[in-house]
Amino acid sequence: MVGLITAIIFIPLVGALAVCAWPQRNGRPIALMFNAISAVCALVLWRNFDPTSSGLQFVERHAWIPAIGAEYLLGVDGLSLLLVLLTSTIVPFALLAQPVPGAGRAFYATMLIMQSALYGTFTAQNFILWFLFYEMSLLPAFLLIKIWGGENRDRAATKFFLYTFLGSVAMLLSFLGIYFAKGTFDFAALAAFGKNGLLTGKLAWLAFAGIFVGLAVKVPLFPFHTWLPDAYQTAPTGVSMVLTGVLSKMGVYGFVRLLLPLFPNEIKIIGPWLLGLAICSIVFAPLAAWAQRDLKRMIAYLSINHLGYCMLALFAVAASPVVGATIDMQAALSGVFMQIFNHGITAATLFYFAGLLERRRGLRGIDDFGGLMQRTPLLCGWMSVAMFSSLGLPGLNGFIGEFLIFKGSFAIAAAFTAIAVIGLLVTAIVFVRAMQSLFSGPLAESCSGFPDLLRSEKLVIVPVTLLMFAIGIAPQFIFNIFNATVVQMARLFG
């Protein structure tokens, strides 16, 4: 099984070449084929993954640039595997979602390159390699927004690029500092140092701030989030799906993998402030979403809110003043991982539906629709499922993650969590209001010619929705992936 991860990473790259070489303008079949191959590889990885072991598995270690401690070091633990599976799910979904006339071969090739970078980010265990993949995902995302985006794409793309790039630069500088102090880029080794304080004095705070900003931009965490609504709104449907479904998880992943193990002491000191930022994300984002008229922008803001929950739990865990509340930490971490996966699927689905509506109407303002339920009951029904999943209705996937996050964080940081509940409420308000104005009331004149879900669209939607139900009703199969990792991490942070 050695080499499997490399295969997963490089198959999409090969696919990108193949798409370029494909003689027809529509490169989708080829891209999907390569997606399928790497997804099969990911499934094989899952099948051979030992859920009881908490360490890295399928490790591939080769010397790369010994002079600066860069290694080609790949491996997966539960979290990485979860994200690899998520990537394998979302990217084909996004490719299917993208309307064919809008995208040529280059689009698919770029998407595949981004997929490869995502796989790499989630499996690399050496900073240099990780950073390479991390940046490699940035460029395709920029191009995808810039070339295939909608209105205002130049501005949104530039903003996105500048934001994330500055964040990356800050992070790189911090890591260089760490490297000069400790002489290694290996995550595991760094985490071992982190236990006893990686750096001291001002340098530690500088490094912390650099990495924090880099990751916070990516998540994004309030107040580093202003690029996100623009980017998500402007990006084409498929790209929005990948951005929200997978790309935003890179930030959370970075927090779990880098910041929390490396700077436990620093986080403990400024923990309440960080929790405050998370709360701001949770409360202000859905409030802002409430004020949006644009469907995609609204979903984008809710996306910030959902990732805010993850941040809340992570900071609660890391800043926990109580020692030994491992059960709660496990709950919080499990919740975060679950939420990552769920949000990926649900938000991508929501963007998909926004895309469907946009494709039918040409516009995507909430007020541009009305009474859709009479014309397109199936579309409304399935879209409602995604919305209810997103607002955390029990029986659907969203609930599990949020419940565990709240359970874990409440025991550690009760007051913050109690405020965070407002976020849940406002999210519900936003969705219910959206449903009201989209689906009910008299049928709008402009919507009277809409087709209901086409067969091809059903084929995309049904599996994803079934997955939502499956996770909502019997989530054990997802928990099995990361339970051992959670236990080990809780021990690390506790």
Partner 1 sequence: MNSWIVTYLWFVPAAPFVASLIILTLSNARRRSAAALAIAGQIAALAMSILAFGQTLQTPGFRVVQNFTWFTFGEQALRLGFVFDPLGAAMLLMVALAGLCIFVFSVGYMAEDKNFTRFFAYLSFFSGAMLGLVIANSLLLLFIFWELVGLASYLLIGFWIERPRAAEAAKKAFITTRIGDMGFFLGILWLYGRSGTLLFYDRGNGCLESAGLAMLGASATFIALLIFCGAVGKSGQFPLHVWLPDAMEGPTPVSALIHAATMVAAGVFLVARVYPLFSLGPINGVTPSLTVVVWIGVTTALMAALIAIAQADIKRVLAYSTVSQLGLMMVSLGVGGVAAGIMHLLAHGFFKALLFLGAGSVIHGCHGEQDIRKMGGLRRLMPVTFFTYAVGMMALSGVPFFFSGGWTKEEILHATASWAPSHAPYYLILAGVVLTALYMTRQVIYVFFGNPRATAEHAHESPRAMTMPLIVLALCAIFFSVVLTPAWPWLHGYLTGEPVHFEIARLIQPMLFVSLVLVGGGVAAGIWIYRKAGAPERDRPAEIDPLEYAQPALFRFLANGMWIDELYDRTVIAFSWASARLSDWMDRYFWDGLVRGFGAIAQLFGIFTTSVGERGINAGVDETTVGTRGLGRLISAAHSGQIQTYLGAVAIGMLALLLLYAWLA
Applying CB under 8 A, the residues found at the interface with partner 1 are 158-159, 162-163, 166, 223, 225-227, 229, 284-285, 287-288, 290-292, 326-331, 333-335, 371, 373-374, 377, 388, 393-395, 399-400, 403-404, 406-407, 410-411, 414, 417-418, 421-422, 424-426, 428-429, 432-433, 435-436, 439-443, 474-476, 479, 483, 486-487, 490
Closer residue to partner 1 in complex, CB, 58/369: 369
- Give, as one character, the DSSP assignment of residue 443: P
Q: How far is the CB of 316 from partner 1 (least distance, A)?
A: 12
Closer residue to partner 1 in complex, CB, 51/69: 51
Closer residue to partner 1 in complex, CB, 105/306: 306
Q: Which helix (H) or strand (E) holds 360?
A: helix 326-361
Closer residue to partner 1 in complex, CB, 55/223: 223
Q: How far is the CB of 233 from partner 1 (least distance, A)?
A: 12
Q: How far is the CB of 254 from partner 1 (least distance, A)?
A: 21
Q: How far is the CB of 113 from partner 1 (least distance, A)?
A: 26
Closer residue to partner 1 in complex, CB, 34/482: 482
CA distance 397 to 93: 18
User: 381 vs 206, 238, 365, 373, 459, CA distance in Å?
Assistant: 50, 21, 19, 8, 15
Closer residue to partner 1 in complex, CB, 59/378: 378
Strand 70-76 vs strand 57-65: parallel, antiparallel, or unpaired?
antiparallel
Q: How far is the CB of 153 from partner 1 (least distance, A)?
A: 16
DSSP one-letter string for 184-233: --BHHHHHHHHTT-SS-HHHHHHHHHHHHHHHHHHTT-TTS-THHHHHHH
Short-list 400, 398, 420, CA closest to 409: 420
Taken in order 277, 280, 282, 284, the sign of the CA dihedral is: negative
Closer residue to partner 1 in complex, CB, 87/292: 292
Q: How far is the CB of 394 from partner 1 (least distance, A)?
A: 4
Closer residue to partner 1 in complex, CB, 106/428: 428
Q: How far is the CB of 340 from partner 1 (least distance, A)?
A: 14
Token duo for residue 180 = 């000069």
Closer residue to partner 1 in complex, CB, 128/312: 312
Burial class (CB in 10 A: 0-12, 13-18, 19+), 45: buried
Token duo for residue 427 = 């999210």
For the chain, how big is the Rg over CA atoms in Å? Answer: 21
Residue 332 contacts residue 295 (beta carbons within 8 Å)? no
Closer residue to partner 1 in complex, CB, 28/343: 343
DSSP one-letter string for 167-181: HHHHHHHHHHHHHHH
Burial 305-332 (b: 16+ CB within 10 A, else e): bbbbbbbbbbbbbbbbeeeebeebbbbb
Q: How far is the CB of 244 from partner 1 (least distance, A)?
A: 17
Q: How far is the CB of 116 from partner 1 (least distance, A)?
A: 30
Number of DSSP helices (H) and strands (E) in the chain, helices first: 21, 2
Q: How far is the CB of 308 from partner 1 (least distance, A)?
A: 13
Q: Which helix (H) or strand (E) holds 73?
A: strand 70-76
